[in-house]
Structure 1
Amino acid sequence: MKKNLLAFWAALGALLCLLSPYAGAAPSPAEEPVYGGRILMGTIGEPSNLIPYLSSDSASQEIVDLLYVAPLKYDKDLQIVPWAAKSYEVLDGGRLLRFVLRDDIRWEDGVPLTADDVEFTYKTMIDPKTPTAYSGDFLAIESFRKTGRFSFEVRYEKPFARSLMTWMGAILPKHVLEGQDLMNSPAARKPVGAGPFRLLKWEAGSMLTLGASDTYFEGRPNLDEAVYRIIPDPATMFLELKAGRLDMMSLSPLQYLRQTSGPQWDRDWRKYRYLSFSYTFLGFNLSHPFFKDVRVRRAVSMAIDRQSIIDGVLLGQGVPTVGPYKPGTWAYNDTLSPVRQDVDEARKLLAEAGWRDTDGDGLLDRDGQPFVFTILVNQGNTARINTAIIIQSQLKALGIGVHIRTVEWAAFIKEFVNKGRFDALILAWTITLDPDIYDVWHSSRAKPGGLNFTGYRNAEVDALLVEARS
């Protein structure tokens, strides 16, 4: 299979949680939770849009998940259970799904949530004018039919492996969004949801404050507020944590290993370490003339020492990975090995593709054009910036010049990623519990606003992705 990404690592995640503003041991699990208080969290990026399905950035998705509900969800044991649905059935060998919604759910403006909202969500998602990267699941549906005010059924032409995950997506409010230009809707910044929290205040560039919903059908959350402070610099975020102005944050390897030890940390905080459900990659823009040639992409991949990135950037807190699945899970192919650094073979591939240093300036060139490109990274992610610096050094030894450009997160997504305005970039993908990767790698998703923003197209991969879904 032709490759257009260089997967570096599945990082070892680290989370630091403040137990209490007072010294002492953690509360016993047997203690009853109490109402009140707020949790303060940091985010390096400001949300781009709080209408579900219209944004793919993690900053938006984390908040959207607290504002909206879906027919189904995972419970704490990762079992699929009803949420907005009272019940559901899987019939006809997986080709037919039947849902009955709860009749006691209200949007935060008091309007009942009904099957009309689910139908509106479905029709919005299959509308080609809807600027979403997540239409694929809904386009797989053969027919949708309301069977009552609080019931509906969905039929598929053939079994669809992701069908239940499709209905873990948020339900949109018909009475709020119908007839609107979704990209210019006030709901993008003033959402109307039916979830456990409501957006109380959005101070641009500063913070978002969510308040507990008194009308949430599963009962009012214990917390009064969830506050997301926008802090683009991780070092500043850590200082805010130490000062008690944040309650939890993800730690860098340096913070985890060397800056969060000692009596006070052990007394008042808890650290958690785990293999992240994500991988970080260098993605090429396949419309760029340099990277249309698979030999060039392979050469760049072979020129890079992945372990040196893990050791230097993550201080060893990560593992090299192959492809888009988490090591140790059933979908991961453990018979494959990460590409090993082989600079000599990389040089041969580049020479075959016509790249040679004809003028002796240390840079490869072809038809008078030097091999120089820019890696785009987002502001606030030190690991990605440092990764780009290591890649820059390793490719320089091969005769390739690399510039590094750092861009604020919202602009990074809206102006560069979504519009395909980059040579190469460093990003990460979350690995979902369902291993389907259609929306990222199928050629139909290589369109403006689509998740296949690198422009990867491969007929064999397309066929395998479709086959795997059934």
Structure 2
Amino acid sequence: MSRRPTAAAISWFEQRTRRTTWPRRPSARREPDRRIIAAVKRLPSAIFLLVLGACRAKEPSAGSASSPPTPPPAVPAPVLGFVDETRGATPVEGGILRRRLVGEPATLNAVLQSSLPEQQVLQYLARQLLDFDARLLLVPGLAERWEVSEDGREYRFFLRPREVWEDGSAVTSADAVFTIRQITDPKIPSPVFKPLFDDLELVEATSPTSFRARFRNRDALHAYAFAMPLLPERRFSGRPFAKARENRAPLSNGPYRLSSWKTQDAIELERNPRWSGPPAHFDRIVFRIVPEEAVAYRALVEGTLDETWIDQSLKERSARDRRFGACCRTVEFYNLDYNYIALNNRSPLFSDSRVRRAMTMLLDRPSIVRNLYHGSARIISGPWAPDSPAYDAAVTPLPFDPSAAAELLDSAGWRDTNGDGTRDRNGREFEFDLLSSAGAKTGSEIDQVFAAELARVGIRARVRPLEWATFVERIDRGDYQAASLASAASDANPDPFPYWHSSQSPPRGVNNVFYSNAAADRLMEDARRELDPGKRRDIYHRLHRIFRDDPPVVFIANASQKYAFRRRVRGLVTSPLGLYGFWPGPLAWWGIPDDSVAGGRGQ
């Protein structure tokens, strides 16, 4: 599963981001159980909640002073089901799509990406070798086909012969080999892709349009590592990779190319005239950087954004908002994302598993689901959403139990020895900063609930919102004690190795809580070697119990994902990967003039 920082994660976390862990992370893509076999579990179970708040009536005109007030239009009740608005529809060409980014991308280098905003922009610019479709099946991208050796260790890829970069130069196997070598270079941080190639033995071009990659170990899932973008070798050759101009001005081989990037404001894309794939429908894509949920909601209603993630409070506000009902709709569904509170296991505060277990038992998750999510979330007991085949429903979540939590803290040596009301141990008081992303309303509410409960047992947690870029940087380098994060799945792979194995702490991987459990490490390694899906699932279920009993973080919930769109945006498809994490995803959206729907404005 890929994780990235996401707005929601940061909001509740999210997801994007996305972590995206929140810082997100985009991903490990090695398990069919989640990337492909997840289709078997999720799609048949129809776990897609779709709320089409499609109030069709125009906003009523103002009445006379003596007229009774006109109530806002009613929003229809949620409709259950999988949504595919492309069936039987004729796309409209042209116009502008105004999308939201919750934070500023740190880079547009596909190898260096680590957050949801980066992934969202790159989806328009960088075609991948392979892709996942809405059913979570692996499909051709830049590579028109691939072959696997009998021993399962070698993969041969054959590129489409007429694929070109925006400057007209050919996309070649040299670009693929160069990209993979940068990913595997130990001096280059590539948190999204590096764990996927950790046992790569060789990669080489066999012709201008074909290459082969050989791994040390047999693994039926190695093909999923190649759901990755490429970089143009000649643009980076002889230049410092991390500081190359192309990291901010990438050469496109996708349907759009970069037009402008105004820091902390907007990123604008225009059609790539050399794109030879299926046509993109909008003339331009404008990404506005809007960290605050309420600001984004207001921009949506005013028509300066066409889509945004929303939290539960904004969903409820939209149901009462006459202006929203006249212009916009909501879409809601469950996916593979979840939110959690990261605890830095290197910190003396959280190095003891008894303390981490106590922290989980001090967060009133049932109350959060009832009061903040109004029932549209599911408490989790490990690092997967309930609809992942890796999730074992028999592993019940730890209860909310402050008394038992206090006993665990006592047994770990954290007691109030000086009578000041705060627990201490060896002269250190139990106090810490709980970092969050600024503008995340639900996430902030969860943090405040948590901090209040901690205070009752003698722990001081200071909720500290940070600007997005600073927040991501702190998390990525492990410079924190606790933080509100989320896991945003960009694929269906449940492999926890890149995120929780002790060998994957930064800078090597994205285990940025520095979790270490020898038994868990062994099971994660066993799961990677096991080719039988049923046996691998059993390993994950054993691992799930360890994650519950020795929690690396405070796992919170898998909340339904809620988005708001202007009704002029058409062609939406939902999937277990959400609205974005598959091909073609948002590239298939199109728009109609706002004045052709009730209460709208022009494009």
TM-score, normalised with respect to structure 1: 0.91
Q: Aligned partners of 1:347 and 1:85: how far apart in 2? A: 56
1:389 partner amino acid: Q
Structure with a larger share of its residues in strand: 1
Equivalence for 1:165: 224
Equivalence for 1:5: none
Q: Aligned partners of 2:423 and 2:371: how far apart in 1? A: 27
> Aligned to 1:69, which of 127, 141, 144?
127
> Aligned to 2:199, which of 129, 134, 140?
140
Q: Aligned partners of 1:458 and 1:331: how far apart in 2? A: 19
Displacement of 1:161: 4.2
Displacement of 1:90: 2.4
Alignment of 1:375 onto 2:468: no
Equivalence for 2:96: 38
Task: Specify whether residues 94 and 20 from structure 1 end up closer, same or farther in structure 2 by C-alpha distance, changes over 3 A only.
Answer: farther
1:46 partner amino acid: E
Equivalence for 1:4: none
Give aligned-pair identity as a percent: 30
Q: Aligned partners of 2:50 and 2:283: how far apart in 1? A: 22
Equivalence for 1:315: 374
Displacement of 1:95: 2.2
Query: SS state of the match for residue 124, structure 1?
Result: helix
Confirm or deny: 8 A CA contact 1:74 1:80 kept in the other structure. yes
Equivalence for 2:352: 293
Q: Aligned partners of 2:85 and 2:353: how far apart in 1? A: 56
Equivalence for 2:181: 123
Task: Specify whether residues 313 and 263 from structure 1 end up closer, same or farther in structure 2 by C-alpha distance, changes over 3 A only.
Answer: closer
Confirm or deny: 8 A CA contact 1:18 1:247 kept in the other structure. no
Equivalence for 2:110: 52
Displacement of 1:220: 3.4
Higher alpha-carbon deviation: 90-99 or 315-324: 90-99
Q: Aligned partners of 1:203 and 1:112: how far apart in 2? A: 29
Confirm or deny: 8 A CA contact 1:212 1:220 kept in the other structure. no
> Aligned to 1:306, which of 354, 365, 371?
365
Confirm or deny: 8 A CA contact 1:17 1:249 kept in the other structure. no
Displacement of 1:159: 2.3
Alignment of 1:260 onto 2:319: yes
1:102 partner amino acid: R
Displacement of 1:397: 1.0
Task: Specify whether residues 86 and 19 from structure 1 end up closer, same or farther in structure 2 by C-alpha distance, changes over 3 A only.
Answer: farther
Displacement of 1:203: 0.9
Alignment of 1:78 onto 2:110: no
Query: SS state of the match for residue 398, structure 2?
Result: coil
2:181 partner amino acid: K
Query: SS state of the match for residue 116, structure 1?
Result: helix
> Aligned to 1:385, which of 419, 426, 444?
444
> Aligned to 1:87, which of 138, 145, 158?
145
Confirm or deny: 8 A CA contact 1:282 1:426 kept in the other structure. yes
Once the two structures are superposed, residues 428-460 of structure 1 have per-residue CA deviations (whole angstroms, 9 ceiling, x without a partner) of: 012331111222112222023731111112232
The 5 Å alignment of 1:187-202 reads: 187-202=246-261
Equivalence for 2:332: 273
The 5 Å alignment of 1:235-246 reads: 235-246=294-305
Once the two structures are superposed, residues 362-403 of structure 1 have per-residue CA deviations (whole angstroms, 9 ceiling, x without a partner) of: 211222322111111111211211111110001111111111
Task: Specify whether residues 368 and 350 from structure 1 end up closer, same or farther in structure 2 by C-alpha distance, changes over 3 A only.
Answer: same
Query: SS state of the match for residue 286, structure 1?
Result: coil
Task: Specify whether residues 226 and 99 from structure 1 end up closer, same or farther in structure 2 by C-alpha distance, changes over 3 A only.
Answer: same
Higher alpha-carbon deviation: 139-148 or 341-350: 139-148
Alignment of 1:177 onto 2:211: no
Equivalence for 2:488: 430
Q: Aligned partners of 2:128 and 2:261: how far apart in 1? A: 24
Confirm or deny: 8 A CA contact 1:16 1:250 kept in the other structure. no
Displacement of 1:406: 0.8
Confirm or deny: 8 A CA contact 1:42 1:231 kept in the other structure. yes
2:174 partner amino acid: D
Once the two structures are superposed, residues 311-356 of structure 1 have per-residue CA deviations (whole angstroms, 9 ceiling, x without a partner) of: 3332332110121212123221111111101212111111111111
Confirm or deny: 8 A CA contact 2:13 2:442 kept in the other structure. no
Q: Aligned partners of 1:446 and 1:265: how far apart in 2? A: 44
Equivalence for 2:165: 107
Query: SS state of the match for residue 281, structure 1?
Result: strand
Confirm or deny: 8 A CA contact 2:13 2:440 kept in the other structure. no
Q: Which runs of 4+ in 1 moved over 6 A?
A: 8-24
**Higher RCO structure, 1 or 2 (CA under 8 Å, sep 6+):** 2
Question: Mind listing any 5+ residue stretches in structure 2 that lack a counterpart?
Answer: 1-11, 16-46, 60-83, 530-603
Q: Aligned partners of 1:110 and 1:141: how far apart in 2? A: 31
Query: SS state of the match for residue 325, structure 1?
Result: coil
Q: Aligned partners of 2:214 and 2:427: how far apart in 1? A: 57
Displacement of 1:18: 10
1:212 partner amino acid: R
> Aligned to 1:445, which of 475, 490, 504?
504
Displacement of 1:30: 2.8
Query: SS state of the match for residue 417, structure 1?
Result: helix
Equivalence for 1:418: 476
Q: Aligned partners of 1:183 and 1:16: how far apart in 2? A: 43
Once the two structures are superposed, residues 214-252 of structure 1 have per-residue CA deviations (whole angstroms, 9 ceiling, x without a partner) of: 211214311111111111211111111111111111121
Confirm or deny: 8 A CA contact 2:255 2:272 kept in the other structure. yes
Equivalence for 2:586: none
> Aligned to 2:279, which of 220, 223, 226?
220
Equivalence for 1:3: none
Once the two structures are superposed, residues 174-228 of structure 1 have per-residue CA deviations (whole angstroms, 9 ceiling, x without a partner) of: 1112232222121121111211111111111111111121211214311111111
Alignment of 1:152 onto 2:249: no
Q: Aligned partners of 2:132 and 2:426: how far apart in 1? A: 55
Displacement of 1:28: 8.7
Q: Aligned partners of 1:239 and 1:209: how far apart in 2? A: 21
Query: SS state of the match for residue 94, structure 1?
Result: coil
1:206 partner amino acid: D
Q: CA RMSD in A?
A: 2.7
2:286 partner amino acid: V
Displacement of 1:39: 0.8
